[in-house]
């Protein structure tokens, strides 16, 4: 009897990682030693991998996708990039680069066994999606770039234009604390969050719970290393990133969607559409997080794009 019990207890240890059933969630090994978390939603024939924003911001705020995509046959994957959310969080600043994250996406694709899939990227995820498409578009069926321009210099120029809409007093306050490098000052934060973010990041009050949850998990070290102190001050290592000249190389069907009230210049979004051969441009009335504050138009455009790609219309 003791031998039977011992044998029974040993059975789970004999299962391989691939055999362990965990619903749709699983981890993928990257760089030979780290693990990133993914989760599958839906069971349809159309496959999509999502790239969240940030950098350093987890997948949680994309949960609204569950209400719009699976019923249209889309099986999509959440994916927390290394250092974020449910994935491993090593404390190594050398890991936080565009090139390494691009390579990570390819490792995740292989780990999930995806091919001829839709790659969706929001904000920084859109930037990462452009990078991936330029390196590995042979694996893609289509690309969705959400709320991201193709160059940080253009992004910075538009950010300054948006900040110029503030009152002279508010601009002076921001400039004072920025000059001192004190971006966490209450007066600075009050203007950025209460006025700038409320107008251009998400135009809802209170914020949706998944967005609040994502902010609580936010990895500021990654964000500060790659972007800088906030959405409007770019000092990180991707400051000079610019892919406008390379956009004509993207040959797969591409949806470029952004909110007119967001942090990306609508003119830059239209310019991207002219440069990518098989592209469609959609501008909603929403903000940077238009999947919440112009939800119906946002998902209607994404679903229509997917259906048109499946029908060979793009």
Q: Which of 214, 183, 219 is nearest to 93 (CA)?
A: 219
In a domain, 7, yes or no: no
Can you state the percent helix, strand and coil of the chain, rounding each to 5? 50, 20, 35
Count of residues for the chain?
A: 314
Position 237 scores a pLDDT of 98
In this prediction, residues 167-186 reach a mean pLDDT of 93
Six-digit token pair at 119? 């790659």
Give 169's pLDDT tier (boundaries 50, 70, 90): very high
Residue 10 within any structural domain of the chain? no
Residue 277 domain boundaries: 21-310
Does the residue 143 lie in any domain?
A: yes
As a whole number of Å, the end-to-end CA separation of the chain is 66
Buried b or exposed e, range 167-193, using 16+ CB within 10 angstroms: eeebeebbeebbeeeebeeeebeebbe
Q: So what's the pLDDT on residue 206?
A: 94
Predicted pLDDT of residue 2: 35
Helix axes 124-136, 98-112, angle to 10 degrees: 70
Of 249, 228, 246, 229, the C-alpha closest to 237 is 228
Is residue 16 included in any domain, yes or no?
Answer: no
User: Which residues have a Cβ under 8 Å from the Cβ of 165 and sit 6 or more positions away?
Assistant: none
- The C-alpha angle 181, 185, 190, rounded to 5 degrees, equals 125
Residue with tokens 């055999």: 19
Q: Which 8-state DSSP code applies to residue 58?
A: -
* CB 267, CB 153: distance < 8 Å: no
Q: 111-153: per-residue pLDDT in tens?
A: 999 999 999 999 999 999 999 999 999 999 999 999 999 999 9
Please tell me the total count of domains within the chain.
1
DSSP state, residue 195: I
CA 29 remoteness from chain centre: 20
Domain contains 235: yes
The band of 53, judged by pLDDT with boundaries at 50, 70 and 90, is very high
How confident is the model over 210-226, as a mean pLDDT? 97
Return the pLDDT at 6: 34
The pLDDT-based confidence of 23 (bands split at 50, 70, 90) is confident
- Residue 80 sits in a domain whose CATH number is 3.40.50.1820
Residue 187 belongs to some domain of the structure: yes
In Å, how far are 100, 106, 108, 136, 180 from 132, measured between CA atoms? 11, 8, 12, 6, 37
* 54 assigned to some structural domain: yes
Question: Any idea what DSSP says for residue 207?
Answer: P
pLDDT digits (tens, 9 = 90+) for 275-308: 999 999 999 999 999 999 999 999 999 999 999 9
Q: How large is the average pLDDT for residues 26-37?
A: 97
Who has greater pLDDT, 19 or 229? 229
Mean pLDDT of 57-65: 98
Residue-level pLDDT at 68: 98
pLDDT of residue 41: 96
pLDDT band, residue 232 (cuts 50/70/90): confident
pLDDT digits (tens, 9 = 90+) for 83-107: 999 999 999 999 999 999 999 999 9
Tokens 């001050």 -> residue:
233
Examine residue 126 and state whether it is found in any structural domain, yes or no.
yes
Dig out the tokens for 95 from the structure. 């890991």
Mean pLDDT score of the chain? 92
Mean pLDDT of 250-256: 98
Mean local confidence (pLDDT), 180-195: 93
pLDDT of residue 79: 98
**Residue 129 region, left (φ>0) first, then alpha (ψ -120 to 50), else beta?**
alpha
Q: pLDDT band for position 22 (50/70/90)?
A: low
pLDDT at residue number 67: 97
């Amino acid at each position: 009897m003791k031998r039977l019990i011992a044998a029974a207890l040993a059975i789970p240890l004999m299962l391989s990682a691939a055999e362990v059933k965990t619903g749709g969630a699983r981890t993928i090994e990257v760089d030979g030693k780290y693990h990133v978390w993914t989760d599958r939603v839906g069971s349809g024939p159309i496959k999509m991998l999502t790239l969240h924003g940030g950098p350093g911001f987890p997948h949680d705020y994309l949960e609204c996708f569950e209400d719009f995509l699976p019923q249209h046959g889309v099986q999509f994957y959440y994916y927390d990039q290394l250092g974020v959310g449910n994935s491993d969080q090593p404390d190594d600043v050398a890991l936080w680069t565009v090139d390494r994250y691009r390579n990570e996406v390819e490792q995740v694709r292989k780990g999930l066994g995806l091919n001829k899939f839709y790659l969706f990227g929001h904000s920084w995820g859109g930037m990462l999606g452009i990078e991936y498409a330029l390196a590995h578009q042979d694996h893609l069926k289509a690309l969705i770039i959400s709320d991201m321009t193709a160059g940080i210099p253009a992004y910075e120029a538009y950010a300054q234009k948006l900040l110029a809409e503030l009152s002279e007093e508010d601009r002076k306050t921001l400039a004072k604390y920025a000059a001192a490098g004190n971006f966490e000052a209450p007066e600075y934060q009050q203007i950025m969050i209460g006025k700038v973010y409320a107008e251009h990041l998400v135009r809802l009050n209170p914020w949706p719970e998944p967005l609040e949850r994502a902010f609580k998990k936010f990895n500021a070290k990654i964000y500060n290393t790659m972007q800088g102190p906030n959405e409007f001050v770019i000092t990180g290592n991707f400051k000079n990133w610019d892919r406008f000249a390379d956009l004509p190389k993207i040959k797969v069907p591409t949806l470029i969607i952004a909110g007119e009230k967001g942090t990306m210049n609508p003119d830059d979004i239209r310019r991207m559409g002219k440069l990518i051969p098989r592209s469609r441009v959609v501008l909603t009335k929403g903000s940077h997080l238009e999947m919440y504050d112009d939800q119906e138009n946002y998902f209607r455009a994404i679903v229509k794009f997917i259906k048109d790609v499946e029908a060979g219309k793009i």
